């Protein structure tokens, strides 16, 4: 039996190399961006104060530039240029996000703080009848009623009209008429609200009509219809063609297929689009100023006499220029924002509730 020579030593197996990133062996801590932000804010504020700049917007912009520069240079030195470019792109996206969010958050916070001081049950249940601009009493009830009625009338007109137009464009429209309708819907989508108000005002003058909530609602309808058409059109296009074909294969007429298959499938998105369209027109001021004229009294009849609305009430109170009127304007603005936010939350809830179930 032969044995291996004892003088020959076995070669040790090479140790497996430790995993090393192809982008560099060193990396910054996870909280490094937070440190960059703190240093950038300190440098930005210090430089702005030294230069005599008192605007916080300038402080923020200078701090953002410092943040981008510090992030890029530090990452280049510690890691490598490829990681630095990636971190720079991420930092730019964060800066853009903050530029978009901070003004909105500041607006919302200011409205809540200023509006909550005056907002109470009395403010929501009383009008401005017999109240002077300098007095601390008065409420927003008449304006709230006007907004609800005007938006409600506009919705009753716009929702069916926009729905039927969208059904025609998606299910039937293939000729020149469909192209013309699409073109005019696109044009109406970007029409300024003052133009819609002037159009209805010309009709009022032509037929010697009196200002009323109905006139304002008609102007809001012009603004709301294209939004409903566009949102409904997109929802109908998302309905699978297989559902239409299966229904038609059973001999069901096309109109009944649309009524029983297509619309129920897209009802969640359609309802969401209508809610968002309502939120879009709820804050319009220019048509209301031209067509409704405003009123300090409670007018529950939108077909006769002047009415008020929340946007007009805010404009009117701010124009008075008294401390009490400013408080009422902020409180009404808070009510309007709450109204729009509730509509958006309802729209999201309906969209989630009516969303197609993917699981079995």
Q: In the numeric block, which tokens belong to residue 325? A: 């009127």
pLDDT at 19: 45
Q: Does any domain span residue 257? A: yes
Domain-embedded: residue 230: yes
46 lies in some domain:
yes
Q: Which of 79, 99, 116 is the last residue of a domain?
A: 116
pLDDT of residue 23: 45
Q: Residue 299 belongs to a domain with what CATH number?
A: 1.10.3720.10
What is the reported pTM?
0.79
Q: How far is CA 152 from CA 221, 287, 341, 358, in A?
A: 10, 16, 17, 35
Using CA atoms, how far apart are residues 78 and 52, in angstroms rounded to an integer?
A: 35
In a domain, 24, yes or no: no
Note whether residue 235 is domain-resident: yes
> Is the domain of 148 the same as that of 112?
no
Domain match, 107 and 156 both: no
Query: Do residues 66 and 40 make contact, with C-beta atoms less than 8 angstroms apart?
Result: yes
Q: Check if the beta carbon of residue 349 is closer than 8 Å to that of residue 133.
A: no
Q: Please check whether residues 277 and 204 belong to one and the same domain.
A: yes
Q: Is residue 185 a part of any domain in this protein?
A: yes
Domain that holds residue 195: 141-353
Residue 58 falls inside a structural domain: yes
Domain identity same for 156 and 300: yes
| Element housing 329 (H / E) | helix 323-353
pLDDT value for 22: 45
- 217/80 same-domain check: no
Q: Which structure tokens are listed for 332?
A: 């009404």
What's residue 18's pLDDT? 45
pLDDT score at 10: 53
- DSSP, collapsed to helix, strand or coil, labels residue 6 as coil
Nearest to 83 by CA among 20, 33, 21, 23: 23
When computed from its CA atoms, the radius of gyration of the chain, rounded to whole angstroms, is 31
Residue 336 placed within a domain: yes
Domain boundary among 116, 132, 159: 116
Cβ contacts of 302 within 8 Å, gap of 6 or more: 146, 149, 150, 153, 212, 213, 214, 217
What pLDDT score was predicted for residue 53? 85
d(Cα 133, Cα 121) in Å, to the nearest integer? 20
The count of domains in the chain is: 2
CB 348 within 8 A of CB 276: no
* 48 shares a domain with 145: no
Mean pLDDT by 10 residues, the chain (360 residues): 50 50 66 90 90 85 92 90 90 92 92 92 91 85 94 95 95 89 91 93 92 94 95 93 92 92 90 89 90 88 92 92 92 93 84 65
């Amino acid at each position: 039996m032969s044995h291996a020579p004892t003088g020959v030593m076995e070669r040790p197996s090479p140790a497996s190399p430790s995993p090393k990133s192809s982008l560099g062996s060193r990396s910054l801590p996870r909280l490094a961006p937070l440190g960059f932000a703190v240093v950038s804010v300190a440098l930005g504020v210090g430089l702005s104060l030294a230069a005599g700049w008192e605007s916080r917007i300038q402080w923020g912009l200078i701090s953002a530039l410092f943040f981008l520069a510090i992030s890029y240079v530090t990452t280049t030195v510690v890691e490598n240029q490829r990681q630095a470019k990636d971190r720079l792109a991420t930092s730019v996206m964060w800066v853009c996000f903050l530029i978009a969010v901070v003004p909105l958050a500041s607006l919302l916070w200011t409205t809540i703080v200023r509006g909550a001081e005056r907002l109470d049950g009395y403010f929501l249940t009383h009008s401005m009848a017999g109240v002077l601009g300098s007095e601390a009493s008065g409420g927003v009830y008449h304006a709230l009623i006007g907004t609800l009625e005007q938006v409600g009338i506009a919705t009753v007109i716009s929702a069916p009209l926009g729905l039927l137009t969208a059904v025609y464009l998606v299910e039937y429209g293939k000729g020149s008429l469909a192209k013309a309708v699409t073109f005019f819907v696109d044009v109406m989508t970007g029409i300024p609200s003052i133009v819609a108000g002037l159009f209805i005002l010309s009709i009022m003058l032509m037929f010697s009509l009196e200002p009323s909530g109905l006139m304002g609602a008609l102007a809001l309808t012009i603004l709301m219809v294209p939004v409903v058409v566009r949102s409904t059109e997109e929802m109908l296009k998302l309905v699978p063609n297989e559902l239409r074909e299966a229904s038609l294969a059973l001999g069901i007429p096309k109109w009944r297929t649309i009524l029983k298959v297509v619309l129920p499938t897209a009802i969640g998105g359609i309802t969401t689009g209508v809610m968002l369209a309502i939120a879009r027109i709820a804050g319009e001021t220019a048509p209301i100023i031209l067509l409704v004229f405003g009123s300090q009294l409670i007018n529950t009849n939108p077909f006769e006499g002047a009415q008020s609305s929340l946007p007009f009430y805010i404009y009117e109170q701010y124009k008075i220029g008294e401390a009490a009127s400013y408080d009422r304007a902020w409180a009404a603005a808070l009510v309007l924002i709450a109204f729009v936010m509730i509509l958006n939350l309802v729209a999201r809830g309906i969209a989630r509730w009516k969303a197609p179930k993917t699981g079995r």
